[in-house]
Chains A and B, each alone.
Chain A
Amino acid sequence: MSIAFDEAGRPFIIVREQDKKERLKGIEAVKANIAAAKAVSRTLRSSLGPKGMDKMLQNQDGEVTVTNDGATILQQMDLQHQIAKLMVELSKAQDDEIGDGTTGVVVLCGALLERAERLIDQGIHPSRVSEGYETACDLSTELLARISDEITLNDTKLTEMKKVAMTTLNSKIVNRFKDKLADICVSAVTSVADFERKDVNLDLIKVEGKVGGKLEDTNLVNGILAIDKDFSHPQMPRRVEDAKICILTCPFEPPKPKTKHKLEIDSVEKYKDMQKAEMEYFQDMVKKVKDSGANLVICQWGFDDEANHLLYKAGLPAVRWVGGVEIELIALATGGRIIPRFSEISPEKLGRAGVVKEVHFGTTRDRMIVLEDCAKSKAVTIFVRGGNQMILEEAKRSIHDALCIVRNLVVDNRIVYGGGAAEIACSNYVAEKMNEIPGVEQHAVGAFSEALDSVVMALAENSGLNPIESLGEIKARQANEKNAHLGIDCMGLGESDMKKQSVFESLQSKQKQLQHATQMCRMILKIDDVIQPSRYE
């Protein structure tokens, strides 16, 4: 495609290569890629920060999602451009590794690329830009580690952990309720955390939701919920105290050998024998369960009416069709063993729980089974309520983010300060160091610092402040007062010291954000040829 410019600088096209833009090369390709990445990051820009706005997404089937979680927005956007898809991967990587900061990472990457474009226009080779970014990124992560503070993780004093969780929740629609949610998340994580190994298995925290009530009704259940399950026989007791649970993954049925076999019946006697054997199978199974001392059966499979009645008769309440994941969780929590064969039932394999009960909801037939006060109590459930489906889903996502952040703190208890404070500190530091770097990379390092500023500007802009003015002020104050805790006062509290405002973020999250964004940026800058297969007509 050839373009000329008229005297006013407007472009006009001389030759248009019709439908043959399947291949882009060199600087053209780099620029097109940068433009695409910028377009994506621009969409997310307004979602950044505590006063960021939400996006409404309608999927292919017309279902609506309202969210301000970067990863979710990008995943649901109907993208076709390859680079745009890479940005999705970027936010997903952040989501998988850290769980939060998915918006920030994309916005930062967009800002980095925007600056890179300018440098390329000045004639700097993309790889030199990459190298400069890498240097700057190393400098920044180093600085972040230096300015970070350690928080205490004593079981008694979790207030600081809670503040980190609150910072995360602040940007979500659930923020009017962040106090209690942060409490819930922190106690959920600490109850399953292994402080010695500094590890948290998030699989042990289940987040379940049911539409109805309001967000404030959300609570932490010290145990497990099995949604949409009920006791198999309508007249079984709805509540079992001091439950000894037999967790079965075999059906209440005569065995089904895997090898092919045939049982041939050719006489009346044999027929009767078989009937008898069948009956015995059932009675035997129920007896084995009963003999082990169990008073509750949780079965992965179904059982037919006859077995159901026998169980009822034996005073064994039973829950059937419990999913595999739930079975595992129940086994973990109650300290029971999953029993795959009836012959292996023994008293020591039973799980224990304080109370098991069936709970009803609303006016429809929604029921669920709650297992409380489990013996091992290693599993907890956060039960989320909300006025409608969309808010419920968004609340679940927010809780997931907060859980991840709290987990990161258990792994690494260092924090930095939010509200752009960390970014500004890095930006100032990088700008300072820039002059010591020889060669072309110097410019790229400078650009990195500018990109960090631009993220802070987005934050200020979304909070209704004058971005240039507030950025300048904070930058100057950080430099003059040598205080890396100063940030943008997004909530309008009249206090710029983020330590006093308790806006905490985990160090890991910030570092990973910078690293991921830089890496993605380098990758995009390295591409100099885009070849698309021409489409079938």
Chain B
Amino acid sequence: MMQSMPGVPFNLDAVPTVLKDSATEEKGETARLSSFVGALAITDLVKTTLGPKGMDKILQSSSGSVTITNDGATILKSIYIDNPAAKILVDISKTQDDEVGDGTTSVCCLAGELLREAEKLVDQRIHPQIIIAGFRKAATCAEDALLAATVDNGGNADKMRDDLYNIACTTLSSKVLSQARDQFSSISVDAVLRLKGSTNLDHIQIIKKPGGSLKDSYLEEGFILAKSLGVGQPKVMENAKILVSNTPMDTDKVKIYGAKVRVDSLARVAEIEEAEREKMMNKCEKILDHKCNVFVNRQLIYNRPEQFFADNGVMAIEHADFDGIERIALVTGGEVVSTFDSPETAVLGRCEKIQEIIIGEDRLIQFSGCAKGEACTIVLRGANEQLLDEAERSLHDALCVLSQTAKETKTVLGGGCSEALMANAVDELAKSVAGKESLAVESFARALRALPGIIADNAGYDSSELVAQLRAAHAAGKSTCGLNMNDGTIGDMRELGVTESWKLKRQMLNSATEAAEMILRVDDILRATPRPREDRPH
């Protein structure tokens, strides 16, 4: 139904129902109000998780499973929202997650704070387009200030490692892993450095095993495959020569279309069966010709070939999955092989020792002393499933940020330092902007400064006092000052080693401004009739 029709003529017939029943339209002020309310609700929801002293949320799904997290993206993904503006915020948080992996809460908070400031300006009867123009100027200025404050240690491997370590510490300090922060920082830095610049995090495998404590987690020197060895296989293999393959080891499918076996007697069946078996055995022989002593296959290995391999002293590992095969190939330097007719050209993978190990109650296969170490395994231990899940998410965030930083090596300071720095630069800009836009520029600075405020609030300190001190310190030229959340004071972030990736901060600033702009530009919300759900019996 059309909600409002100003200037309706007298003839009531002339009031047409243009939209479908139960499709709605909100216009002008109402639309804007609904956007602001939605966006702010989302911001207020996630903002308590920001910073090193941020709190966690319990998420209960409709099936009853429980997740405990303080990862913004995870929280936003799981809540049900029926407000279009709020959905935009959820989407930027998701993009942040996909693009840099961390800062998902910050981006949402910044966008929310920008809208909160914009709402005040709209109340003062400033047109959204003017606010947008001001925000754009401010965002460009903030980005320039941020870039000017970056430090690039890309050329120096040792310093780079320190940077990465600090970034890992900063990222992890707001997560459940903060109790073992140093240990996990080292783990993640080592893991990422082993990727040698690749950003494909598939090559870092995280194995979660309940039991023990977080402190028992470690980075496996070699590689662990979460599979167990077959019965009767040798349990240890020294100086392994590994043939990594992807081939059916049950029966070979006949690939010629329409082929059909037709026999007239039982004896014939046996003959054909024998031929089939012979073919499989031939394949096994060919595999043996490769002079390997370990055979890893993506697919199943049937008992008979397995038996054959065991008899010939070859360790056979079946069902290693696509990821597993790819990782093993990377770690050991072998080729993934599917045909076996030319043993001389196939490259075998090598490692010093393969053995079956037991973590918790599960048996796993460990590859140690590998030729190439471009993939690795992190074993996570912890008291319960929820803790492990959250630990995995945190570690994933850290790994994402690190791998991105390894590619784009510029870093900036964390702890609200960058925000304060940008805010001061934007404040400077506001002085030189003529017209109403300058109000919007000032608001942008306030929104940036709100972020350290939230961090301080969450830690239970006097945020107004701290943010004011921070602002003064930056104005006095101490551009490395930030919040020290352990003591509740302001301190030099460079000394404390609170470092963040420049790419993360830049992405956060851009996405948040873009999203705020997008929501501000809207003056009309049209909702379609929700698709009727079919209540089918399950």
Q: Provided the pairs A11-B10, A53-B521, A262-B260 are in contact, do residues A76 and B528 lie with their beta carbons within 8 angstroms?
A: yes
Q: B59-92: contact bitstring with A at CB < 8 Å (1 yes, 0 no)? A: 0000000000000000000000010110110011
In the complex, residue of chain A having the shortest beta-carbon distance to the beta carbon of B523: A53
> Does B432 have its Cβ within 8 Å of any Cβ on chain A?
no
> Taking A39-B18, A58-B526 as contacts, is the C-beta distance between A278 and B339 under 8 angstroms?
no
Chain B residues contacting A60 (CB-CB under 8 Å) are: 528-531
- A229 to B: closest C-beta gap in Å: 16
Asked, given contacts A35-B9, A58-B526, A264-B260, whether A211 binds B98 with beta carbons under 8 Å apart, the answer is yes
Quick check: B528 and A78 within 8 Å, CB to CB?
Answer: yes
Interface residues of B in 258-306 (CB under 8 A from A): 258-264, 268, 271-272, 274-276, 279
- Nearest CB on B from A289, distance (A): 16
Mark out the residues of chain A between 34 and 91 whose CB falls within 8 Å of any chain B CB in the assembled complex.
Answer: 34-36, 39-40, 43, 46, 51, 53-62, 64, 66, 68, 73, 76-81, 83-84
In the complex, B359 has a CB within 8 A of chain A: no
Stretch of B113-121, B412-420, B509-517 contacting A (4+ beta carbons < 8 Å): B509-517
Main secondary structure of the interface of A (DSSP, over half): mixed
**A212 CA to B511 CA, complexed, in Å:** 9
Tell whether A391 pairs with B518 under 8 Å between CB atoms, given A36-B16, A55-B526, A235-B335: yes
Query: Could you say which residues of chain A place their CB within 8 Å of the CB of B326?
Result: 234
| A240 interfacial by beta-carbon distance below 8 Å | no
B20 at interface (Cβ–Cβ under 8 A)? yes
B148 within 8 A of A: no
Cβ-based interface call for B464 (8 A): no
Q: Which of B17, B91, B129, B259 sits near A388, CB closer than 8 Å? A: B91
When distances are taken between beta carbons in the complex, the residues of chain A under 8 Å from B276 are: 271
B259, A263: Cβ atoms under 8 Å? yes
Q: In whole angstroms, what is the CA distance A31 to B329 when docked?
A: 74
Task: Note all chain A residues with C-beta closer than 8 A to B262.
Answer: 264-266
**A46, A78, A264, A308, most chain B CB atoms within 10 A:** A78
Q: Which of A54, A78, A365 interacts with B23 by CB under 8 Å?
A: A78
Q: Which of A54, A212, A254, A304 contacts B256 (CB 8 A)?
A: A254
Q: How far is the CB of B284 from chain A (nearest CB, A)?
A: 15
What's the least CB distance linking A81 to chain B, in Å? 5
For the complex, is A368 an interface residue (Cβ under 8 Å from B)? no
Contacts of A493 in B (CB 8 A): none
Contact A265 B259 (CB under 8 A): yes
In the complex, A266 Cα to B15 Cα: how many Å? 80
A5 sits at the interface (CB 8 A): yes
Q: Tell whether A267 is near chain B: CB-to-CB under 8 Å.
A: yes
B279–A275 contact, CB under 8 A? yes
Cβ contact within 8 Å between A306 and B338? yes
Could you give, for residues 340-368 of chain A, a 1 whenever the CB lies within 8 Å of some chain B CB and a 0 otherwise?
Answer: 00000000000000000000111111100
Closest to B127 in A: A464
Q: Choose among B2, B345, B531 the residue that contacts A61 (Cβ–Cβ < 8 A).
A: B531
A386 to B260, CA, bound (A): 54
Give min CB distance, B424 to chain A, whole Å. 23
Residues of B contacting A92 with CB < 8 Å? none
Asked if B523 contacts A305 (CB within 8 A), the reply is: no
Q: A387 and B528 in contact (CB under 8 A), knowing A54-B521, A173-B521?
A: no
Evaluate contact between A3 and B12: CB separation under 8 angstroms: yes
Q: Give the contact stretch, choosing among B160-168, B194-202, B386-394.
A: B194-202
Minimum CB–CB distance for B387 against chain A, Å? 23
Q: Determine whether the beta carbon of B18 is less than 8 Å from that of A62.
A: no
Judged by a CB distance under 8 angstroms, whether B500 is at the interface is: no
The majority secondary structure among interface residues of chain B is mixed
Please tell me if B136 contacts chain A, counting CB pairs below 8 Å: yes
Residue of B nearest to A263 (CB): B259
The answer on a CB contact under 8 Å between A55 and B16 is no
Q: Is the CB of B521 within 8 A of A66?
A: yes
Q: Compute how far the CA of A275 lies from the CA of B531 in the bound complex, rounded to whole angstroms.
A: 54
CB distance from A147 to the nearest CB of B (A): 30
In the complex, what residues of A have CB within 8 A of residue B271's CB?
Answer: 267-268
Distance in Å: Cβ of B128 to nearest Cβ of chain A: 7
Chain B residues lying within 8 Å of A271, measured Cβ to Cβ, are 261, 272, 275-276
A278 CA / B518 CA spacing, docked (Å)? 59
Docked-complex contact B514 and A78, CB < 8 angstroms: no
Query: Distance in Å from the Cβ of B3 to the closest Cβ of chain A?
Result: 11
Q: A255 interface residue, CB < 8 Å from B?
A: yes
Residues on A with beta carbons closer than 8 Å to the beta carbon of B136: 176
CB-defined contacts of A61 to chain B, threshold 8 Å: 530-531
Looking at the assembled complex, report how far the CB atom of B281 sits from the nearest CB atom of chain A, in whole angstroms. Answer: 13
| A53 and B128 contacting across the interface, CB-CB below 8 Å | yes
Q: Judging by beta carbons under 8 Å apart, are A388 and B521 in contact?
A: no
B-contacting residues, A240-293, CB 8 Å: 253-257, 260-268, 271-272, 274-275, 277-278, 281
Residues of B within 8 A of A214 (CB): 507, 510-511, 514
Q: In the bound complex, what is the Cα–Cα distance between A214 and B139 (angstroms)?
A: 13
Take A66-B521, A173-B518, A212-B95 as given contacts and tell me if A56 and B13 are in contact as well, using a CB distance cutoff of 8 Å.
no
Which residues of chain A are near B19, meaning CB under 8 Å? 77-81
Q: Is the CB of A66 within 8 A of B259?
A: no
Contact residues, B226-273 vs A (CB, 8 A): 246-248, 252, 254-264, 268, 271-272
The answer to whether A43 and B524 touch (CB under 8 A), given A60-B530, A80-B20, is yes
Residues of B within 8 A of A76 (CB): 526, 528
Within 8 A of A (CB), among B20-40: 20-21, 23, 25, 31, 35
Query: Which A residues lie within 8 Å of B31 (CB)?
Result: 56
Q: How far is the CA of A1 from the CA of B15 in the complex (A)?
A: 13
Q: Is the CB of B511 within 8 A of A309?
A: no
| A32 CB within 8 Å of chain B | yes
Q: Which chain A positions have C-beta within 8 A of B518?
A: 54, 66, 173, 388, 390-391, 394
Looking at B95, B248, B264, B336, the one whose CB has the most chain A CB atoms below 10 A away is B95
A212 to B256, CA, bound (A): 45
CA distance A59 to B10 in the complex (A): 33
Given A61-B531, A78-B526, A363-B199, do A235 and B128 touch, yes or no (CB 8 Å)?
Answer: no
Q: Which residues of A contact B268 (CB under 8 A)?
A: 266-267
User: In the complex, which residues 133-156 of chain B have their Cβ closer than 8 Å to any Cβ of chain A?
Assistant: 136
Give Cα A233–Cα B20 distance, bound, in whole angstroms. Answer: 52
Q: Chain B 29-59, CB within 8 Å of chain A: the 1/0 string?
A: 0010001000000000000000000000000
**Of B20, B35, B100, the contact of A56 (CB 8 Å cutoff):** B35
In the complex, whether B312 has a CB less than 8 A from a CB of chain A is no
1/0 contact string of A5-40 vs chain B (CB within 8 Å): 100010101000000010010001001101110011
Q: Is A526 an interface residue (CB 8 A)?
A: no
- In the complex the two chains form, is A265's CB within 8 Å of B272's CB? yes
A310 adjacent to chain B (CB < 8 Å): yes
How far apart are A146's CB and chain B's nearest CB, in angstroms?
Answer: 35
B264 near A266: Cβ-Cβ < 8 Å: yes
User: Whole-angstrom distance from the CB of B434 to the nearest CB of chain A?
Assistant: 12
B527 at interface, CB cutoff 8 A: yes
Min distance, Cβ A167 to any Cβ of chain B, angstroms: 17
Given A35-B15, A362-B98, A46 contacting B524 (CB threshold 8 A): yes
Contact B10 A9 (CB under 8 A): yes
Residues of A within 8 A of B272 (CB): 265, 268, 271
| B20 and A257 contacting across the interface, CB-CB below 8 Å | no
What would be 30 A-B contacts, judged by CB atoms less than 8 Å apart? A31-B13, A39-B16, A53-B522, A54-B522, A55-B526, A56-B35, A58-B526, A59-B528, A61-B530, A62-B530, A78-B20, A81-B19, A234-B329, A234-B336, A262-B258, A265-B259, A265-B261, A265-B272, A267-B268, A274-B256, A277-B256, A309-B339, A310-B339, A362-B98, A363-B403, A364-B98, A386-B514, A389-B95, A390-B88, A390-B91
A interface, CB within 8 angstroms of B: 1, 3, 5, 9, 11, 13, 21, 24, 28, 31-32, 34-36, 39-40, 43, 46, 51, 53-62, 64, 66, 68, 73, 76-81, 83-84, 173, 176, 211-215, 233-235, 253-257, 260-268, 271-272, 274-275, 277-278, 281, 304-306, 308-310, 312-313, 360-366, 386-391, 394, 464
Those 10 A-B pairs whose CB atoms lie nearest each other, nearest first: A309-B338, A78-B23, A387-B511, A53-B523, A78-B528, A36-B16, A212-B99, A387-B514, A60-B531, A54-B521
